[in-house]
């Protein structure tokens, strides 16, 4: 299959994203999903995708969206900030990805029950966007009702999937909880048993969602945790994914081996062999927020450590007490180092996920 026939530079729609995921699954490829908070982080991801001829998933969390527009712009109206921040960020990516000539899947991360108004606001905007441009503002949205009863989770997900279908948007739904803490979503004290999804729940979700649309992905937890911790504290059981695939496939007498498209949350710090195994069980999207944050910071830290003597005062460095240091503290210089570290980290990840040079004929 020629990728470029449907994967063009710019933001992909839900349907094209699914074609891509189905192809990736067959070839045992996954794509990294990176949380961005500003144009600086977005540009690093686009630059990495361009340099290594691949496709990336850029996502905004609720608070990352607010940060994009500025946390104080609407005072205490958190939902409003997150709506307009995500819209601005998305519009930037729609334009910038064309200039970079990079295909992008654009996604919003964990939307809990408290944040459904955020999603409603984005969908309202997306309707106009779709009417004007023939594609949605976001390729995909995640709904995270993992703390609700499964029936309630699916009732709400089905309600939204009906809306998404009209706008050609993918639904990512969460089953079972992701542990740890990320962006205000704190599951660090949750009982371990909630971190493992039952394949029966996956089957139940599949049965209900497939009646509406096939454009959905499932973030089924198998011990996943947000953040990086000592490896002995994490017990990942990717066989849960394999067993879920088998159950769905057998129940519906399917010929294909891995009918489901899975999302791996908390991919940062995970062993390569677990990542590879999960990809062979149908994972096509891996979220890597924490490792990207660390790379970004490491770039700034190393820049500081190397240039320490030029960064403590405006005037005066080892070359003379009146020598100016402007060239060293210019934010473009140290932010660029941060970008370089992100790009370097992504080059390693693209290799692990088997998505290097996807767009090279
Ligand atoms: Zn997550």
CA-to-CA separations, 220 to 89, 107, 154, 290, in angstroms, rounded: 28, 17, 13, 20
H/E stretch holding 11 reads strand 10-11
pLDDT in tens, 240-299: 999 999 999 999 999 988 999 999 998 888 899 999 999 999 999 999 999 999 999 999
Instruction: Write down the pLDDT at residue 190.
Output: 77
Instruction: Write down the pLDDT at residue 137.
Output: 98
Compute the distance from residue 287 Cα to the ligand 1 centre, in Å: 7
Average pLDDT score over residue span 316-323: 97
pLDDT in tens, 13-65: 999 999 999 999 999 999 999 999 999 999 999 999 999 999 999 999 999 99
Would the pLDDT of 185 be above 80? no
Average pLDDT score over residue span 97-112: 97
Mean pLDDT, the chain, integer: 94
What is the band of 361 on the pLDDT scale with cuts at 50, 70, 90? low
Would the pLDDT of 195 be above 60? yes
Compute the distance from residue 236 Cα to the ligand 1 centre, in Å: 15
Compute the distance from residue 224 Cα to the ligand 1 centre, in Å: 9
- Check: CB of residue 275 under 8 Å from CB of residue 267: yes
Instruction: Write down the pLDDT at residue 316.
Output: 97
Compute the 3-state secondary structure of the chain and give helix, strand, coil in percent, each to the nearest 5.
50, 15, 30
Residue 38 DSSP code:
S
109 is annotated as an active-site residue: yes
- Check: CB of residue 33 under 8 Å from CB of residue 355: no
Which residues are registered as beta bridge partners of 172?
Answer: 142, 217
Instruction: Write down the pLDDT at residue 1.
Output: 56
Compute the distance from residue 285 Cα to the ligand 1 centre, in Å: 11
What is the band of 226 on the pLDDT scale with cuts at 50, 70, 90? confident
Which two three-digit tokens encode residue 8? Answer: 């063009």
Compute the distance from residue 119 Cα to the ligand 1 centre, in Å: 16
CATH code, 7-297+346-352: 3.20.20.70
What is the band of 182 on the pLDDT scale with cuts at 50, 70, 90? confident
What is the band of 233 on the pLDDT scale with cuts at 50, 70, 90? low
* Percent over 70 (pLDDT), the chain: 97
Compute the distance from residue 320 Cα to the ligand 1 centre, in Å: 50
Q: Which of 16, 109, 144, 291 is catalytic?
A: 109
Q: Residue holding tokens 């939902």?
A: 79
Compute the distance from residue 110 Cα to the ligand 1 centre, in Å: 6
What is the band of 108 on the pLDDT scale with cuts at 50, 70, 90? very high
pLDDT in tens, 85-95: 999 999 999 99
Compute the distance from residue 55 Cα to the ligand 1 centre, in Å: 20
φ, ψ for residue 273, nearest 5 deg:
-65, -30
Instruction: Write down the pLDDT at residue 152.
Output: 97
Handedness of CA 111, 17, 89, 354 (dihedral sign): positive
Average pLDDT score over residue span 202-213: 98
What is the band of 302 on the pLDDT scale with cuts at 50, 70, 90? very high
Average pLDDT score over residue span 59-83: 94
Instruction: Write down the pLDDT at residue 2.
Output: 60
Instruction: Write down the pLDDT at residue 219.
Output: 96
Closest CA to 270 of 232, 240, 231: 231
- Report the alpha-carbon distance of residue 102 to residue 48 in Å, rounded: 10
**163 three-state secondary structure:** helix
């Amino acid at each position: 299959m020629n990728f470029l026939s449907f994967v063009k530079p710019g933001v992909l729609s839900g349907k094209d994203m699914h074609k891509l995921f189905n192809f990736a699954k067959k070839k045992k490829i996954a794509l990294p999903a990176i949380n961005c908070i500003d144009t600086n982080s977005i540009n690093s991801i686009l630059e990495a995708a361009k340099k290594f001829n691949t496709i990336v998933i850029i996502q905004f969390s609720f608070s990352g969206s607010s940060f994009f527009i500025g946390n104080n712009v609407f005072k205490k109206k958190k939902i409003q900030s997150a709506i307009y921040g995500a819209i601005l960020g998305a519009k930037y990516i729609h334009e910038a990805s064309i200039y970079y000539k990079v295909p992008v899947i654009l996604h919003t991360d964990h939307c809990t029950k408290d944040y459904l108004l955020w999603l409603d606001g984005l969908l309202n905007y997306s309707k106009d966007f779709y009417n004007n441009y023939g594609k949605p503002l976001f390729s995909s949205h995640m709904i995270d009702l993992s703390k609700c009863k499964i029936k309630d989770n699916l009732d709400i997900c089905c309600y939204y999937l009906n809306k998404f279908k009209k706008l050609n948007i993918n639904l990512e739904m969460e089953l079972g909880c992701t542990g740890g803490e990320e962006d205000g979503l704190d599951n660090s004290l949750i009982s371990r048993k909630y971190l493992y999804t039952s394949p029966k729940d996956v089957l139940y979700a599949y049965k209900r969602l497939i009646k509406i649309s096939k454009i959905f992905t499932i973030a089924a937890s198998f011990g996943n945790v947000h953040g990086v911790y000592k490896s002995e504290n994490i017990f990942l059981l990717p066989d849960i994914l394999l067993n879920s695939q088998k159950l769905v496939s057998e129940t519906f007498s399917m010929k294909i081996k891995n009918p489901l498209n899975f999302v791996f949350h908390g991919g940062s710090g995970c062993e390569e062999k677990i990542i590879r195994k999960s990809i062979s069980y149908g994972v096509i999207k891996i979220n890597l927020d924490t490792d990207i944050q660390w790379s970004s910071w490491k770039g700034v830290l190393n820049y500081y450590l190397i240039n320490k003597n030029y960064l403590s005062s405006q005037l005066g460095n080892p070359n003379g007490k009146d020598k100016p240091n402007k060239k060293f503290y210019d934010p473009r210089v140290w932010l660029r180092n941060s970008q370089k570290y992100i790009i370097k980290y992504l080059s390693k990840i693209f290799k692990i996920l088997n998505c290097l040079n996807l767009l090279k004929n």
